[in-house]
Amino acid sequence: MYFGSDNQTGASPQVLDMLTVANNEYTHGYGDDRWTNQAIEALKTLFECDLEAYFVATGTAANSLALSCMVQPWDAILCHDSAHIILDESTAPELFTGGARMVPISNGEGKISPQHLKDYFQTIGTDYPHNVRATALSITQASESGLVYTPTEISALSAVAKDNGLSVHMDGARFSNAVASQQCTPAELSWKAGVDVLCLGATKCGALCAEVVIFFNKELAATFTHRRKRGGHLLSKGRVFGAQMVGWLQDDHWLDLAQYANTQATQLAKQIATFDRLQLVWPVESNELFVIMPKGLAVHLQDAGAEFYDWYVTTLPPNILIDEDEMFARLVTSFVTQDSQCEAFCELIHDYFAAQ
Amino acid sequence: MYFGSDNQTGASPQVLDMLTVANNEYTHGYGDDRWTNQAIEALKTLFECDLEAYFVATGTAANSLALSCMVQPWDAILCHDSAHIILDESTAPELFTGGARMVPISNGEGKISPQHLKDYFQTIGTDYPHNVRATALSITQASESGLVYTPTEISALSAVAKDNGLSVHMDGARFSNAVASQQCTPAELSWKAGVDVLCLGATKCGALCAEVVIFFNKELAATFTHRRKRGGHLLSKGRVFGAQMVGWLQDDHWLDLAQYANTQATQLAKQIATFDRLQLVWPVESNELFVIMPKGLAVHLQDAGAEFYDWYVTTLPPNILIDEDEMFARLVTSFVTQDSQCEAFCELIHDYFAAQ
Amino acid sequence: MYFGSDNQTGASPQVLDMLTVANNEYTHGYGDDRWTNQAIEALKTLFECDLEAYFVATGTAANSLALSCMVQPWDAILCHDSAHIILDESTAPELFTGGARMVPISNGEGKISPQHLKDYFQTIGTDYPHNVRATALSITQASESGLVYTPTEISALSAVAKDNGLSVHMDGARFSNAVASQQCTPAELSWKAGVDVLCLGATKCGALCAEVVIFFNKELAATFTHRRKRGGHLLSKGRVFGAQMVGWLQDDHWLDLAQYANTQATQLAKQIATFDRLQLVWPVESNELFVIMPKGLAVHLQDAGAEFYDWYVTTLPPNILIDEDEMFARLVTSFVTQDSQCEAFCELIHDYFAAQ
Amino acid sequence: MYFGSDNQTGASPQVLDMLTVANNEYTHGYGDDRWTNQAIEALKTLFECDLEAYFVATGTAANSLALSCMVQPWDAILCHDSAHIILDESTAPELFTGGARMVPISNGEGKISPQHLKDYFQTIGTDYPHNVRATALSITQASESGLVYTPTEISALSAVAKDNGLSVHMDGARFSNAVASQQCTPAELSWKAGVDVLCLGATKCGALCAEVVIFFNKELAATFTHRRKRGGHLLSKGRVFGAQMVGWLQDDHWLDLAQYANTQATQLAKQIATFDRLQLVWPVESNELFVIMPKGLAVHLQDAGAEFYDWYVTTLPPNILIDEDEMFARLVTSFVTQDSQCEAFCELIHDYFAAQ
C-alpha cells in the first residue's frame, strides 16, 4: 500500500533496459552522444515542432535553471501559492535566478485563473526600480492539487501573461499524467497554448532521474548551457539521461505508464468517495488524491503498513476546515501501483469505520 | 504643499553644520575617525546599552545587510505584506542574503500581530531542506501604515518569534517618529522589547544620507564588516556618516525633528477628518497620512502644486473598498513642513467640495 | 584507441548490476533508503573512521558544494593553477560559495608545494575587509598533471594550511587512481594527512554518475543538506547513487578498476618513452599521460580513429617549450582500455616516424 | 605629513559649498532633481559626447556595478594583477556580477600591455561552457602603480580587447590625476580610446563621496538602474551626489585639484630621488609614490608623525628585491598637501641618514 510518492519506485523495465544497452558503448561525454541526440529528436517528434532540450537530474534543477533563463534577478515570477517551486524546492529558484522573487497569486484555489493574473496587474506597483517587475508566470501541470489545466485554460492564462510581458513556464513534473488525463496532444498542452518553456519530468513516471528543460521559445535558451554547467548539472556521461529518455518515449511508453497511474488514482478515488467520513478535497484528475480523514484512521492505516503523507494544510482552500481530530493526507499512485494495494487499503478503511 | 515624502528635504541645519565642521579635519578613512567613534558612543548612551553600530548610506542597504547577518540563504524572513523590504527595495534582500526569501504574513492589517506569527507556524511545512525555514522576523517602526508598535506589542511579537527560533529585525527608517509618538525610551522600543537588530534611519528625519545598523545582539554582527565592504557600502570618508549622526543625535535634535513632523501630521489629520468625503484609512500615529479621496480632488490639489503620491492599493485592508472615482493617497510631513502648507492644502480641499 | 577521457565509458558491469537490483525495490526517496545507508557504512569502513557522506551526480557539484561549506563569500580558496575547479568548472565555485574567489598559487609546477603556500602568506595583504582572506586549500588527487601527492606531501601541505587557518579540500575525481598508485590506505591519503573534506569520484572509474562529498571534519557539514537541495542536487530516487556506490566499493572493485587503468597508462607510457620525438611532460603516476608530439603525428593518429585531446598549454611548466609544429596532448586510460588499443596506437606512431 | 591616502581629506570648499546650497531646496528624491541633471549635463559637456551617468557613493560600488553590466556570471574580467578590483574590494565584483571571475594578466608590470592580452588569448581554453570566457577588460587610470596610460596605449589595449569580443572598463578613481598628467582631453583618455564604461571618482580628489559610472556605450547601461537599486546604492536624497559633482566640475575645479596633487607628488619625488638609499619603484606620473626605504627610516618618519602605508609587496615587479631591513611604502599627495609637509618629510629623511 505504497501511496507515499511516485518517486518511491525504480525505473520501468523498458527505461532501465535502454540504460543498460547504452552503458556498453563508448561515447563522447557531456551529451555529445547518440542517445542524447536521439532523445532530442524524439521530443521534436512528440511535440511536433522544433525545440531546444536540455537534460538534468532533478525537477528542482530543471525548474530553477529554466526560470533563470526567463527572468532577471530583480524580477518576479508569478506562481500558485502551493507551487512546488515555492513550497518544496528550498530557495533553489533564488539561487539560480540570482535572487528573483516568487509571488504567489492563487489565493488557495486549486489552479491559477486568468482573474488571478488580472487582479495582480491591477493592484501591483510599477514604480521601477523600487518594485519588482513580474516577467514570468509559472504553472504546474498537473497542478499541486492533482488538477489538470486544459489547453483552453492554459491559453487563457498565457494570453493575460503575454499581454503583460510575461513568458510562461510550465512545471511538468507530472506532465505525462496531465496528457494522459486530457484528450489532447502534448503540443496542445504546451506550446500551442502559449507555454514558452516546459520542464518535462520522467522521474516520477518511469525513469530513475531524467528531467528535460524544453524551450519552445528558443531565444530563451541562449544562456542555458552556461547556467547548467555552472550549476553542476552537466553530467559527463550524458547518455545517462539520453538513454532513459529514449526508453521512456519509445512506443508511447511514457503515456502508458501515466495512464496506468491515473487509472489507479481514479479507481481508488471512487472507492474512497463511498465513505461518508472521508472528504476528497479536489476532483482526481491525475495520479494524486487529497483526502481529509480522521486521524484515528490514518494511524490505523499506517500501522497496517500503508504509506502516505500528511500534506501541507496551507495548500487547502480557505473554505475547507479541518477538525482537530482530522488529518489532510496526500495519496499518490504510480505505474507500479497494484489493484490489490488499493483494495487492501479500502478494506482497512472499511474495517476502521465498522469498528467505530 | 510638499507631502510627497520625507526624503525630499535636505538635512537640518544642525546636521549640515556638523558635516561642515568635520570636513575640515584630516582623519583616517573607512570609519577610523573621531566622528564615527563619537557617533557610536552617542548611540550607546541613547540606547543605554553596549551595542555594535555600522553606518551606511541607504535604508535599503541597512535592511539588506542587517538581514543578511540574520538568515542563511535557504531561510525565510517573515514580514508585513507591505513591508518596505518586500515592496520598495527591488530584490535587494535577496541579493545580500544570497537568496533568502521574504514571506508576508499580515493579511492586509496595519501591523503584524502575534496571532499572524502563530498562524504561520501552525500551518507551515517543516520538512527541511525542502521547505524554507523562517529564522527572522522583520517589523517596521513606524509601520508601513504609519502606525506605531508599542513596547508591549513588540515584546509580544518577539516572544513568539524567539519561541520559534527567529531573531527580530526592526526597520527603523522612521524609528525617530515612533519614539516621538510613544511615551517611552528608544531602549524600550527596541532591545528591551526583544529587537536584535535595528536599522535606525536618520535620512528621512534630518540627515542627508545616514543610516545605522545597530546590533543589540552583538553575535549577529560577526560578519557585518565583510558584508558591508563587499556590498560597496564602506565609505572611504567615513566621517560623512559619523558627523551627520553626531549632529543628529546631539541635544535630542533627532527627537525634536520627529516630534515636529508628527505634530504636523496630527494637525493635518484633524483637519482632513472634518471632511466627510475623505477617509483616513489608519489612525495617524507618526508622520504619514493615508487618505482615500475623490480623484477629482486629487487632480485639483496637484494642479495647485500639492505633492503627494498615489499609494499601493495592495496595502489596503481587504475590507476597505475604493470606488472607481477615488484614489488612495499617501501624505507625509517632515521637519520642514509649515503650518501654512497644511492650511493651504485644506483650503484647496474646502474649495473643491464647495464647488461640487 | 579511446584515450579521450575516462568519462567516455559506461559503468562497470558490477556497478550496473547493483543499480539494476536496487531498481526493483520500493524505497523512500531523497536518500532515505538502504542502498544509500549501506554505501555510507561502506565508506566508513573503507576510511576507517566516522564521517558524513553526501552523494551528488557530478564532480563540479561535489567540489562546489564542498567548498561552499568551507569558505565565506568574501574568502579565498587557494588552488593549483590548473585545478579543475578553476579551469574546467565554469564559475560553479563562485555560484555555490556565493562569490568566493579561487587564487592559483602553483606557478606552473605539477603539484602544489608547501613553499607555494608559504610564499602566498608572506606576500598577501591582510587588511580585512579590503583584502580577501584565504580560508581553504584545495588540492587535486591525482593532480591535474596526473601526478599523485604522497601522504607525506599532503601532510606537509595541510600543516602549513592549518597553521594559517585554512581547511583542506581534496578534489578526488581520480582519488581511486591515486590510491592504486600509492602503497597506502584511503585514510592515509586523506584525513590522516589532514584532509577535511574529500570529493570522491566514482564516475571516472566505473560508475555512471556518482560522486560523494565526504566530511572527515563533520562540523563543516552542518549546512550541506540545505546547500545540496537548493542546488537542485538532491535526487528524489536517492538509490541511484547509493546502489552504484555499493557496487563500486564492494570487494575492492573500485581499486581493481583504478589499478587496471593505471597499469594501462604505465604500459602505454613505457612504449611512448621509446620514441625520441615524443616527450612525456610529467611522470605517469595514475591514468593520464601528457605528451608533446608532432602535429603531423596527431593528425595521423586521429585520422586512424585514435581519440585524445589537445590540452591546455597554460598548464605546462614555464620551462617546457612547444614548437609551432607540435601539439600538447592528453591521453587517458580507463578500466575498459585494452592492451590491443595501446598496441595499435603505438604501431601507428611507429609507422608515422618510419615514414618520415 | 599626511601621505596616507587621498581619501583622508574632506571635500574641497567649492564642493562643500555646492552641497550646502543644494541642501536648502525641496526636490524630488532618487536623482530626479536639478542638481543631478545639471551634473549629468556637465559630464556630457566635459566628455564632448552623449552618455549615461549614474552616481554612487563608493568606488567599489561603481566598479562592481559597472562590471556587472558588462559580463555574465560565467564570464571573466581581465585585469592588472594589482587592480583595486582584485586586491582591495573584497569580493564585491563577484557579488554584483553574480559570480564572474577576475583573471590577472599583467605579470607584475606596472601597466597592462597589448602583449599581455595577446598572450592570454593565445593560451586560454575556449571549450565553453567548461572554461570561463573573457568578456571584459578592466584598466585603472591612473594605474595601481601611479602610472598613467596614454591615449595611444589605451587605444592599443582596446583594439586587442575588441578584436576578442571584450568591452573595456576603466577604473577612474584617479582619472582626474591622469588627465592632469597628460596633455589631452577627458574624451581622448576615455571613449575616444575605446573605453566603454568609465568609473569616474571624485572622492579621492575633492568630493566627500561621489563616484559616477559613465556609459559611453549606452547599450551596456540597460540594466543599471535595477542593479543600483538592488545593491542599495540609490540614494533617496540624490542631490547629495549631484551637488557635489556640480561643484567639482565647475570651472575646471576638478582638474585644478588634481594638478595640484600631481605637482606635490612630482616635487616630493624629485627630493626623494636625491637620496641614494631610497628607491622609487615606478616613475611618478600622478599623485602616488612607491618607495623602498630602510625600515629604520620608516619608523623614524612615523614616530615623527608622518603617515604613509606599508604597501603590498605582491604588487612589485618580480625583478625588484626588498631586503629584510627594507619596507615598501606608498605615499599619496592630495589637494591639501602643503609644501611644508613635503619639506618636513624630506628633512626627516635627511636627518635619519645623516645620523647613520
> What phi and psi values does residue B4 have, to the nearest 5 degrees?
-65, -55
CB D237 within 8 A of CB D24: no
**How many beta-carbon contacts under 8 Å exist across A and B?**
67
* C352 CB-side CA count, 13 A: 22
Inter-CA distances, D44 with C248, D150, D252, Å: 67, 22, 14
* Domain co-membership, C258 together with C245: no
pLDDT value of position D313: 80
D302 pLDDT more than 90:
yes
Contact B54, B238 (CB under 8 A): no
Does residue D4 sit within a domain? no
Q: Minimal Cα–Cα distance from A102 to chain B, Å?
A: 9
Mean pLDDT in residue range A172-195: 97
Residue D332 lies in a domain: yes
Residues B187-225: b if buried by 16+ CB within 10 A, e if exposed:
bbbbbbbbbbbbbbbbbbbbbbbbbbbbbbbeebbeebb
Shortest Cα–Cα distance, B15 to chain D (Å): 11
Does position D28 have pLDDT exceeding 90, yes or no? yes
Computed over every residue of chain B, the mean pLDDT equals: 96
Does the pLDDT of residue D261 top 90, yes or no?
A: yes
**Amino acid identity of D29?**
G
Q: Which residues, including other chains, have CB under 8 Å from residue D109's CB and lie 6 or more apart?
A: D116, D317
Whether B213 and B73 share a structural domain: yes
Q: What is the pLDDT of residues A250-267, one digit of tens each?
A: 999 999 999 999 999 999
Q: Determine, yes or no, domain membership for D295.
A: yes
Whether B227 sits inside 8 A of C128 (CB atoms) is: no
Q: How far apart are CA B209 and CA B203, in angstroms?
A: 5
Residues of chain A contacting B75 with CB distance shorter than 8 Å: 91
| Cross-chain Cβ contact B226/C99 below 8 Å | no
Query: Per-residue pLDDT averaged across B316-330, rounded?
Result: 90
Cβ distance C59 to A236 less than 8 Å, yes or no, reads yes
Q: In the numeric block, which cell numbers belong to residue D9?
A: 581629506
Say which CATH number the domain at A184 has: 3.40.640.10
Q: What is the pLDDT of residues B243-284, one digit of tens each?
A: 999 999 999 999 999 999 999 999 999 999 999 999 999 999
Per CB-CB distance under 8 Å, the chain B contacts of D28 are 4, 8
**What pLDDT, in 10s, does the model give residues C286-305?**
999 999 999 999 999 999 99
Are A96 and A165 a contacting pair, CB within 8 Å? no
**C307 interfaces chain D, CB cutoff of 8 Å:** no
Nearest neighbour of C73 by CB, restricted to D73, D95, D129 = D95
Q: Is the pLDDT of residue D315 over 90?
A: no
Q: Can you give the pLDDT at residue D183?
A: 83
Inside any domain, residue A57: yes
Contact call for A232 and C56, based on CB within 8 A: yes
Whether A129 and B73 lie within 8 Å, measured CB to CB:
no
Residues B336 and B201 in one domain: no
Is residue C228 in some structural domain? yes
Restricting to D residues 88-147, those with a Cβ less than 8 Å away from any Cβ of A are 98-99, 128-130
Mean pLDDT of the residues in chain A? 96
Which structural domain range is residue D57 located in?
13-251
Report yes or no on A179 lying in a domain: yes
- Are both D192 and D275 inside the same structural domain? no
Count how many domains chain D has.
2
The verdict on C169 and C68 lying in the same domain is yes
CATH number at residue B269: 3.90.1150.10
Could you give the count of Cα atoms lying within 13 Å of B345 in the half-sphere of its Cβ? 27
Of A74-88, A308-322, B142-156, C173-187, the range with the lowest mean pLDDT is A308-322
Residue D6 lies in a domain: no
Same domain, D147 and D56: yes
Cα–Cα distance between B272 and D62 in angstroms, integer? 45
> Is residue A123 pLDDT above 90, yes or no?
no
C206 and C268 both lie in a single domain: no
- Residue among A95, A125, A131 whose CB faces B99 most closely: A95
Q: Based on the fold, state whether residues B123 and B215 are members of the same structural domain.
A: yes
SS (H, E, C) chain B: CECCCCCCCCCCHHHHHHHHHHHCCCCCCCCCCHHHHHHHHHHHHHHCCCCEEEEECCHHHHHHHHHHCCCCCCEEEEECCCCHHHHCCCCHHHHHHCCCEEEECCCCCCCCCHHHHHHHHHHCCCCCCCCCEEEEEEEECCCCCCCCCCHHHHHHHHHHHHHCCCEEEEEECCHHHHHHHCCCCCCCCCHHHCCCEEEEECHHHCCCCCEEEEECCHHHHCCHHHHHHHCCCCCCCCHHHHHHHHHHHHHHHHHHHHHHHHHHHHHHHHHHCCCCCCEECCCCCCCEEEEEEEHHHHHHHHHCCCECEECCHHHCCCCCCCCCCEEEEEEECCCCCCHHHHHHHHHHHHHHHHHC
Q: Looking at the predicted structure, is the pLDDT value of residue D224 above 90?
A: yes
Chains contacting B with at least 3 CB pairs below 8 Å?
Answer: A, C, D
Q: How confident is the model at residue D319 (pLDDT cuts 50, 70, 90)?
A: confident
The confidence score (pLDDT) of residue A319 equals 84
State which of A251, A270, A297 marks the end of a domain: A251
pTM for the full predicted model: 0.97
pLDDT in tens, B208-222: 999 999 999 999 999
Cell of C346: 603505438
Please give the Cα distance from D209 to D245 (Å, whole number).
10
Is A16's CB within 8 Å of C23's CB? yes
Q: What's the whole-number mean pLDDT along residues B334-339? A: 96
pLDDT digits (tens, 9 = 90+) for D38-67: 999 999 999 999 999 999 999 999 999 999
Q: What does the pLDDT read at residue D339?
A: 96
**Closest CA of chain D from C107, distance in Å:** 12
Q: Domain check: are D234 and D289 in the same one?
A: no
Bridge partners of B332, per DSSP, are: B288
Q: Determine the residue of chain A that is closest to D236 in CA distance.
A: A130
Question: Considering B251, B284, B302, which residue would you say is the last residue of a domain?
Answer: B251
Q: For residue A304, is pLDDT > 90?
A: yes
Same domain, D42 and D82: yes
pLDDT of residue B123: 86
Could you say which DSSP state residue D65 is in?
Answer: H
Domain C-terminal end among B229, B251, B273: B251
Model confidence band, residue A108 (pLDDT cutoffs 50, 70, 90): confident
Whether residues A161 and A95 share a domain: the answer is yes
pLDDT at A82: 93
Inter-axis angle of helices B239-249 and B13-23, to 10 degrees? 140
Could you report how far apart the first and last alpha carbons of chain D are, in Å? 23
What pLDDT, on a 0 to 100 scale, did the predictor assign at position D314? 78
Answer whether residue B317 shows pLDDT above 90: no
pLDDT for C1: 86
CB contact under 8 A, A7 and C25: no
Kindly report the average pLDDT of chain C as a whole number. 96
Q: In this predicted complex, what is the ipTM?
A: 0.97
* Same domain for A128 and A52: yes
Residue A95, pLDDT score: 98
Q: What's the mean pLDDT in B308-335?
A: 90
Q: Tell whether A122 is covered by a domain.
A: yes
Q: What is the mean pLDDT of residues B97-111?
A: 94
Helix (H, G, I), strand (E, B) or coil at D137: strand
User: Is B74 in Cβ contact with C227 (below 8 Å)?
Assistant: yes
Give the DSSP letter of residue D55.
Answer: E
Can you give the pLDDT at residue B318?
81
Kindly report the average pLDDT of chain D as a whole number.
96
Maximum CA extent, chain C: 64
What confidence score (pLDDT) does residue D1 get?
86
CA distance C200 to B281: 62
Which of D96, C72, D78, B294 is closest to A74 using CA atoms? D96
Cell 580628489 appears where? Answer: D205
* pLDDT for residue A326: 95
Nearest C-alpha in C relative to B96: C98
